[in-house]
Amino acid sequence: MRFKHLHELNTICTAESKTIARLMIEEQVQETNTPEADVVRQMSEYYQVMKEAVRKGLTEDTTSRSGLTGGDGKKMAEYIRQGETCSGDASALAMAYALCVSEVNASMGRIVATPTAGSCGIIPGVFISSQERFGWSDEHLVNGLFCAGAIGYVIANNSFISGAEGGCQAEVGSAIGMAAGAMVELRGGTPEQVVHAVGLALKNTLGLICDPVAGLVEIPCIVRNGLGAVTALAAADMALAGVRSAIPSDEVIDVMLEVGSAMPSRHRETAQGGLAQTPTGRKMMEKLAKPKAKRAEPEAESEPESTKNNSKEQA
Amino acid sequence: MRFKDVFSIIGPSMTGPSSSHTAGAARLGRIARQWLGSTPERARLTLYGSFADTYQGHGTDLALIGGLLDYVTDDPRIPDAEEYAEQAGMEVEFFTSGLPAPHPNTVKIELWHGERQCSLVGASIGGGSVSVHTLNDFRVQISGEFPTLVLRHSDKAGVLASVTSTISSSGVNIGYMQVDRKARDGEALTAMEMDGAPSAEMLKRLQSLDHVLDIRVIDLKRGVEPDAV
């Protein structure tokens, strides 16, 4: 890839008068030696999976295997139909769709990791609700996914995208930054505005811990996806209005790495802290406790081979 | 770069609820199955770190079993993988371990089918991407992102030269290669990530080379295949 940082995305696209989506498609073709038609077809298929997840969340039973969650996306959609919303119908619909997709995920339904499964509701929530509002073609939205992918590629390779590594700021935060930036490009904003949208969005999620109740991708993940979709729309609006991220967006990504690396392990998807260890969170965990698998027997135990050489691997 | 392309960020299409615990686990299971070369008769899986702590709630166990059955990450049968494993005559045992591991989401997979036995240690590194650290206790570093040729061979001078020249004459580029051996003159294993899938012709020529014991192709992009031991 010809870029590793957001400022490079901006420089190359501005110099070559390209959208970020176009650059990402060209780089993907070059990097993987795959015809453009195949690359675009793959992304189009992913977009159809996202739409199907929204439909499923709105119409089918999304009760999770644990029984803790499900049905909130439908509730939001019904609430929008009944009257005026507090956050505006556009925000509320993005939230409803994000909840739907995230609930389908929790119920072991089919979704697309964007960038992860824990954050899979935000991009579909923002994209599909905006497509309905603005009457965009699928092709336009598929381009938006390439733009989001370019942003995620930069975040993932300079910081992290998984809650286990960097907390929820890495997971939901990355998705919000990706959705915000892509939304700017979909609305015709410049690459520079895209980059500012990412920084503005990420600043608002820094420090977010990953504290899933009972270790499941449900509480608070689903709600964070819903609210994340709204944050993405808001950050896109700020950038399109000309608001700039005073701290350059690449530096914000570095801060995410710093904060996530300093986060104690109890706040990184282990369910040993945060909401997971509240009295209610603990009760939920106890209620769901299943008989555990046996501990590996000492005679059969052998340390994974690369432990000694590879202690930094998780960074 | 840890994440190599746009589809390691957007994608995979998968069965929820966790790209690390479910999609990554399914891919590790599928790599292990391809390394064995067939549906295992018996599988023993040892989970480390966060995998050990939360695998049941995430369906990590079901995804691993699904992978062993050659299911791709969004196969709708994954939630019921235990039943399908039973139908396939596959016996699966799970263990957890508190020992330190290379990554918070690590699994050791040991498989048996008839005379053949194999093992793998791998980690799910985020967003459904995986990293395999050992194959049969040989050190490797493979991602499953590319068609990967794994050769078991004797540690003899000239084996690698004849292998690479056979591959080069087939016009395929090697992107990454790692060699490890048990002992001098003992068994060795070479893993090669390639830019393109190896042809049947290339595999036949490699198999006929002196000192080459066994060849497996690991390729998550290829379709699901029938058993062939």
How confident is the model at residue A57, as a pLDDT?
Answer: 98
A303 close contact with B: CB closer than 8 A: yes
A84 close contact with B: CB closer than 8 A: no
Contact check, Cβ <8 Å, B104/A164? yes
Residues 2-61 of A with CB under 8 A from B: 4, 24, 27-28, 31-33, 39, 42-43, 45-46, 49
A216 close contact with B: CB closer than 8 A: yes
How confident is the model at residue A173, as a pLDDT?
Answer: 98
How confident is the model at residue A310, as a pLDDT?
Answer: 40
How confident is the model at residue A17, as a pLDDT?
Answer: 98
> How many residues appear in chain B?
229
The amino acid sitting at A117 is A
Least confident range of A42-51, A193-202, B153-162, B220-229: B220-229
Instruction: For residues A167 and A150, give the distance between their C-alpha atoms in angstroms, rounded to a whole number.
Output: 21
For chains A and B, CB pairs below 8 A equal 222
Summarize the confidence of residues B135-146 as an average pLDDT.
Answer: 94
B97 close contact with A: CB closer than 8 A: yes
Residues of B with Cβ-Cβ distance to A42 under 8 angstroms: 7, 11
pLDDT of B111 above 80: yes
Summarize the confidence of residues B60-64 as an average pLDDT.
Answer: 96
How confident is the model at residue A291, as a pLDDT?
Answer: 64
CA distance A8 to chain B (A): 16
Can you say whether the dihedral through the CA atoms of B60, B66, B69, B70 is positive or negative? negative
Q: If we measure between CA atoms, which residue out of A158, A202, A181, A196 comes closest to residue A19?
A: A181
pLDDT in tens, A4-39: 999 999 999 999 999 999 999 999 999 988 999 999
pLDDT in tens, B172-192: 999 999 999 999 999 999 999
Instruction: For residues A125 and A223, give the distance between their C-alpha atoms in angstroms, rounded to a whole number.
Output: 12
Residues of A with Cβ-Cβ distance to B13 under 8 angstroms: 45-46, 49, 110-112
CA distance A49 to chain B (A): 7
Confidence of residue B100 (pLDDT cuts 50, 70, 90): confident
Instruction: For residues B56 and B75, give the distance between their C-alpha atoms in angstroms, rounded to a whole number.
Output: 18
In sequence order, the 6+-apart residues with CB closer than 8 A to the CB of B105 are: A164, B20, B21, B24, B48, B49, B50, B51, B123, B124, B125
Residue to substitute from A295, A299, A313, interface B, most B β-carbons within 10 A? A313
* Chain A residue closest in CA terms to B10: A114
Instruction: For residues B2 and B25, give the distance between their C-alpha atoms in angstroms, rounded to a whole number.
Output: 18
Contact check, Cβ <8 Å, B12/A112? yes
Summarize the confidence of residues B28-46 as an average pLDDT.
Answer: 97
* Tokens 């591991």, residue located: B101
Contact check, Cβ <8 Å, B127/A156? yes
A224 burial level (CB within 10 Å; 0-12, 13-18, 19+): buried
Say what percent of chain B tops pLDDT 90.
Answer: 80
Residues 118-147 of B with CB under 8 A from A: 121, 123, 125-128, 131, 133-134, 137, 139
| Per-residue DSSP letter, A111 | E
| Per-residue DSSP letter, B72 | -
The amino acid sitting at A139 is E
Contact assessment for residue A25 and residue A40, using Cβ atoms and an 8 Å cutoff = yes
Can you say whether the dihedral through the CA atoms of B222, B201, B131, B31 is positive or negative? positive
Q: If we measure between CA atoms, which residue out of B106, B61, B94, B103 comes closest to residue B79?
A: B61
Instruction: For residues A192 and B67, give the distance between their C-alpha atoms in angstroms, rounded to a whole number.
Output: 42
Question: DSSP states of A47-82 as a string?
Answer: HHHHHHHHHHHHHS----TTSS---HHHHHHHHHHH
* Chain A residue closest in CA terms to B15: A110
How confident is the model at residue B58, as a pLDDT?
Answer: 86
Instruction: For residues A172 and A228, give the distance between their C-alpha atoms in angstroms, rounded to a whole number.
Output: 7
Contact check, Cβ <8 Å, A113/B128? yes
pLDDT in tens, A89-127: 999 999 999 999 999 999 999 999 999 999 999 999 999
Contact assessment for residue A124 and residue A225, using Cβ atoms and an 8 Å cutoff = no
Instruction: For residues A267 and A265, give the distance between their C-alpha atoms in angstroms, rounded to a whole number.
Output: 5
Contact check, Cβ <8 Å, B10/A149? yes
How confident is the model at residue A164, as a pLDDT?
Answer: 85
Residues of A with Cβ-Cβ distance to B142 under 8 angstroms: none
Can you say whether the dihedral through the CA atoms of B85, B91, B95, B99 is positive or negative? negative
* Tokens 């064995």, residue located: B36
* Chain A residue closest in CA terms to B99: A303
CA distances from B4 to A28, A245, B1, B8, B183 (A): 9, 27, 6, 7, 34
Residues of A with Cβ-Cβ distance to B93 under 8 angstroms: 293
CA distance A244 to chain B (A): 26
Residue to substitute from A52, A299, A314, interface B, most B β-carbons within 10 A? A314
B171 close contact with A: CB closer than 8 A: no
Instruction: For residues A79 and A75, give the distance between their C-alpha atoms in angstroms, rounded to a whole number.
Output: 6
How confident is the model at residue A270, as a pLDDT?
Answer: 85
Written in H, E and C, the secondary structure of A162-229 is: CHHHHCHHHHHHHHHHHHHHHHHHHCCCCHHHHHHHHHHHHHCCCCCCECCHHHCCCCCHHHHHHHHH
How confident is the model at residue B33, as a pLDDT?
Answer: 97
How confident is the model at residue B125, as a pLDDT?
Answer: 85
* Chain B residue closest in CA terms to A295: B96
B176 close contact with A: CB closer than 8 A: no
A315 close contact with B: CB closer than 8 A: no
Report mean pLDDT in 10-residue bins for chain A, 315 residues: 97 98 98 94 98 98 94 98 96 98 97 96 98 98 98 97 93 98 98 98 98 94 98 98 98 98 93 96 89 63 49 36
CA distance B209 to chain A (A): 29
Query: Of all helices (H) and strands (E), which one includes residue A125?
Result: helix A122-134
Contact check, Cβ <8 Å, A153/B6? yes
Instruction: For residues B101 and A307, give the distance between their C-alpha atoms in angstroms, rounded to a whole number.
Output: 5
